[in-house]
Amino acid sequence: MLRTLVLASNNAGKLKEFGQLLSRVGFDVHPQGEFNVPEADEPYFAFVENALTKARHAARLTGKPALADDSGVCVNALQGSPGVLSARYAGEPKSDAENNRKLIADLAKHNDKSAYYYCVLVFVRHADDPQPVIADGSWHGEIIAEPRGEGGFGYDAHFLLPDLGKTAAELTSLEKNTLSHRGQALRTLVEKLR
């Protein structure tokens, strides 16, 4: 019998991706919205602190094990920005188009266009779990000024993978899930949970 696991998100794509792999290790993944859990604040500058905060929040309000992720794009020439602020880099309201516009403008005067997507996943057995299970992954590429591709979201159309000659937005969902920072982190987490 599968145990209920609360995903500290209501993102349908994450729910599907996480649900498929985590069912193999005994979990039935449900979005926090099913339990009327509001989004947690993300006040920290480190991905791991935000993910831990979201996981504990969901576990505390549901009494069930919880999983949270925090991810973003980190640009080396910008000292790791946008980083944890990736979704709101250009401010509120959240806008992928505005975030991309700001990133391209901020990077224009730099020669180094290298960047990486980073994801950290935190699993807690209960809200006060003293030993959360943590897994992370990174996906290296470079930022290009002109967008390419129709898939993905966020910065994907500007995130070039030089070895493949494609942006993240030009990959199939299977390719992206195999290569991406989130895919790497999820596979590591599954192995740890086994």
Is there a catalytic annotation at residue 70? Answer: yes
Considering the candidates 28, 41, 69, 70, report the single residue annotated as catalytic: 70
DSSP collapsed to 3 states, the chain: CCEEEEECCCCHHHHHHHHHHHHHHCEEEEEHHHHCCCCCCCCCCCHHHHHHHHHHHHHHHHCCCEEEEEEEEEEHHHCCCEHHHHHHCCCCCCCHHHHHHHHHHHHCCCCCCEEEEEEEEEEECCCCCCCCEEEEEEEEEEECCCCCCCCCCCCHHHEEECCCCEEHHHCCHHHHHHHCHHHHHHHHHHHHHC
Return the active site residues.
70
